[in-house]
């Protein structure tokens, strides 16, 4: 039961940090003439605040699509339900994988991925798009604008890859040791 407590607390903290950061970004970056976020993500009027010149800005953006804005041009009546269904399925898959997870690092990675997925799902249900506000670039080469939920998902996937590589190496070492003892 304690392992599910990690999933619950960690996911709720990730979701809370994501939603808090989005609220703070909207308050700080939405131009004064726009008192609320528009229903259409393409009409967000925002300011850009330079954090580190030539590398990092705060810039509010509405992402109607998924990662790198894929599917953003899908009609709204299909796009929003599509992403909600995909997110709900992802939450179910994550819960199933978490239940079977034997390694602590795998559990941490799934907790972060779940928190990020739910954080972005809340935006999709509430607004029809995801609020992004972190903009990284080098000169004129820009990385797609992202948010804390995206960071949670990316770190979670990274931890999962590290854990898979560790498990693979451990299994290979065990096979090598078994072969050496047999031969």
Given the residues 18, 123, 132, 163, select the one marked as catalytic. Answer: 132
Active site residue 132: yes
Cβ burial, residue 176 (10 Å; 0-12/13-18/19+): exposed
29 Cβ partners below 8 Å, 6+ apart? 46, 47, 48, 49, 58, 59, 60, 133
Given the residues 18, 123, 150, 163, select the one marked as catalytic. Answer: 150
Closest by CA to 45, choosing from 35, 53, 54, is 35
DSSP label at residue 35: -
Could you give the residue numbers annotated as active site?
132, 150
């Amino acid at each position: 039961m304690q392992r599910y407590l990690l999933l619950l607390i960690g996911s709720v903290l990730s979701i809370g940090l994501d939603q808090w950061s989005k609220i703070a970004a909207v308050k700080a970056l939405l131009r004064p003439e726009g008192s609320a976020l528009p229903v259409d993500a393409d009409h967000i009027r925002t300011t850009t605040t330079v954090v580190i010149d030539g590398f990092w800005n705060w810039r509010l953006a509405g992402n109607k699509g998924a990662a790198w804005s894929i599917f953003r041009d899908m009609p709204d009546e299909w796009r929003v339900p599509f992403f909600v269904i995909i997110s709900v399925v992802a939450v179910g898959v994550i819960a199933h994988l978490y239940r079977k997870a034997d390694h602590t690092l795998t559990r941490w990675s799934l907790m972060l991925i779940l928190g990020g997925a739910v954080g972005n799902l809340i935006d999709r249900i509430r607004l029809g798009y995801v609020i992004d506000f972190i903009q990284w670039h080098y000169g004129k080469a820009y990385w797609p604008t992202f948010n804390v939920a995206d960071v949670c998902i990316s770190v979670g996937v990274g931890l999962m890859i590290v854990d898979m590589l560790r498990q693979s190496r451990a299994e290979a070492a065990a096979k090598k040791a078994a072969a050496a003892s047999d031969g």
